[in-house]
Structure 1
Amino acid sequence: MNKQLKAIPKFASESQERAYWESHDSTEHLDWSKAKRVSLPNLKPTTKTISLRLPQHLLDSIKIAANSRDVPYQSLIKVWLQEKLHSH
């Protein structure tokens, strides 16, 4: 049984489109059973610069650990944070 799908309206702005989709069900416009998974291999995650104050001795220890692994210390911090996040 094929359901009659509504046309997706034209929007004057992104905020107008956002407001529309917040109050409407996309299944009125799209047949999600025909959707296909896509891969975006070149998509890079958005990063945000933060300021983190660390005691000097802690930062020195992190830099030593990073140097022994031959990786930048910021990268090592990110790996450790990610590992800790996934272990909980």
Structure 2
Amino acid sequence: MTKLKKIPTFQTEQEERAFWESHDSSDYVDVSKARRAILPNLKPSTKTISLRLPEGLLDSIKVEANKRDMPYQSLIKAWLAKEVQESRG
């Protein structure tokens, strides 16, 4: 196995990003010693949207969410995720 190169010290994240975009990480990192990373507090990024719903529909959704003891927005997300997953096959 060839000797690994030393990873330089970076002043900024932008500088580090530019470095890794132009260098092969296999020259710097021994992947045979890699370990699986566990990131328990990592949450998927979300984006706020505005959605107009008829008041009666929103009221019905809130009633259903209340029956399930969950926020109505979480219920809407769960329903949307289920429908998207089912439509994929």
* TM-score, with structure 2 as normaliser: 0.79
Q: What are the equivalent positions in structure 2 for 1:1-88 lying under 5 Å apart?
A: 2-87=1-86, 88=88
Letter aligned with residue 35 of structure 2: K
Letter aligned with residue 16 of structure 2: E
Q: Unpaired runs of 5+ in structure 1?
A: none
The alignment's C-alpha RMSD in Å is: 1.7
Secondary structure class of the residue paired with 1:39: coil
Post-superposition CA distance 1:29-70 (Å, at most 9, x none): 101121011222233333333222222232122112212222
Take 2:58 and 2:44, find their aligned partners in 1: how far apart are those partners?
A: 25
Take 1:23 and 1:32, find their aligned partners in 2: how far apart are those partners?
A: 19
Letter aligned with residue 56 of structure 2: H
Percent identity of the aligned residues? 62
Post-superposition CA distance 1:3-31 (Å, at most 9, x none): 22111112222111111112222111101
Q: Unpaired runs of 5+ in structure 2?
A: none
